[in-house]
Amino acid sequence: MANVAVIGAQWGDEGKGKIVDWLSERADIIARFQGGHNAGHTLVIDGVTYKLSLLPSGIVRGGKLSVIGNGVVLDPWALVAEIGRLKEQGVEVTPDNLLVAENAALILPLHGELDRAREASSEAARIGTTGRGIGPAYEDKAGRRAIRVADLADAATLDARIERLLTHHNALRRGLGLEEVEPGALKAALTTIAPRILPFAAPVWKVLNEARRAGRRILFEGAQGSLLDVDFGTYPYVTSSTTLAGAAAAGTGLGPSAVGFVLGIVKAYTTRVGEGPFPAELHDDVGEWLRDKGHERGTVTGRIRRCGWFDAVLVRQTCALSGVNGIALTKMDVLDGLPELKICTGYELDGKRLDYLPSAADEQARVTPVYEVIEGWQGSTAGARSWADLPAQAVKYVRRIEELIQCPVALLSTSPERDDTILVTDPFAD
């Protein structure tokens, strides 16, 4: 059986949580491989809503192992709080069903403070981050001054790590007018949280490689979306990690051949949170319709999402970048009742037609969409569990999307409920 990597193929918020939860029934292990607690996943199971940020979506299923890989930056306080919230909902999280990579870098309070201070420093500096410290934590990881999970178990190593870290950060804080961090206070905070985190710490790479050799099925869970990738996204309005399928292997300690089927999650329209270009964005009544009917508000931050028509150019591009084998199309029901729909099939820039989004920020901001108009449908797609349940025009819309993005639909999601899903191709099949 193939392993499966799930990625967002737009700007995030595509409905990955439900799809990962649905697929996790067929998996043995669910592994997060990048991002941090800026990633929001909402699951609705038997009428109960679970909101996850750090924990893999499979944590709510019994008998599954959830893994936070080395590619994730981990806020230990956020993890403890999330575990506590799930416990209140009857979900027990223990080292038997959750492992955390011992070489994962930590997000500290100073990272969030730096993140927010930068965003507030000037309008020109604004990127639209969640302010949770993800970017600064990845900077420290790349700068070789991060504190990692394993360091919490060794006082001498922790002292050295703190000294190196604060040499850098206190200089930045002075420049931003922030109070310097006192080493003793930071060590005390880490020493206090360590016993809550260390029981979950493990050589995740070893566990996963052994599980793979034993034939256990692994589901790799990505966060954010491909258009927020630090290399191929709408830079600089991106996240600080690689959000493409290629990160699944590096972010867990498995080789590239471990990733079998790549499933791209795609919303039936387009949304974006934060700053940055958005060629197909709508500023009219239809945009309001999509926002209201789709409940387009961020799981983690509560920020209202910008909404627009389906952009086939972008999805075709992200499918190519991640080698997507099939997409899961979500939130079709939000389009129910619209008399006509539009799909962005190309861009115009300075009188030229483009079939891709260029890399230059100025050009990304200036492209204008070229639309194809498609008849809408008046019937309901909500809750459909087979193609026969869909209005004919809705099926035509799906087929046209497949043609334009050059990738087939493997799954179709018709509501937030787990079982309201039409399976076309089983990603776990050989």
Residue 377 vs residues 163, 286, 329, 341: alpha-carbon distances, Å: 62, 15, 17, 9
Work out the angle at residue 163's Cα, subtended by the Cα atoms of residues 160 and 168, and round it to the nearest 5 degrees: 135
Integer Cα distance of 264 and 73 in angstroms: 23
Report which of 8, 19, 10, 382 is spatially closest to residue 219, judged by C-alpha positions. 19
Q: Tell me, what amino acid is at 251?
A: G
What six digits make up the tokens of 129?
Answer: 């981050």
Integer Cα distance of 198 and 200 in angstroms: 5
The DSSP output letter for 230 is T
Task: Catalytic residue, from 37, 41, 111, 169: name it.
Answer: 41
Burial of 350 (0-12, 13-18, 19+ CB in 10 A): exposed
Q: Tell me, what amino acid is at 416?
A: P
Q: Is 37 part of the annotated catalytic residue set?
A: no
Q: Is 419 part of the annotated catalytic residue set?
A: no
Integer Cα distance of 253 and 249 in angstroms: 6
What pairing do the DSSP bridges indicate for beta strands 98-101 and 65-68? parallel
Integer Cα distance of 210 and 265 in angstroms: 28
Q: Where are the alpha helices (DSSP H) in 228-273?
A: 247-250
What six digits make up the tokens of 290?
Answer: 């999509």
Catalytic residues: 13, 41
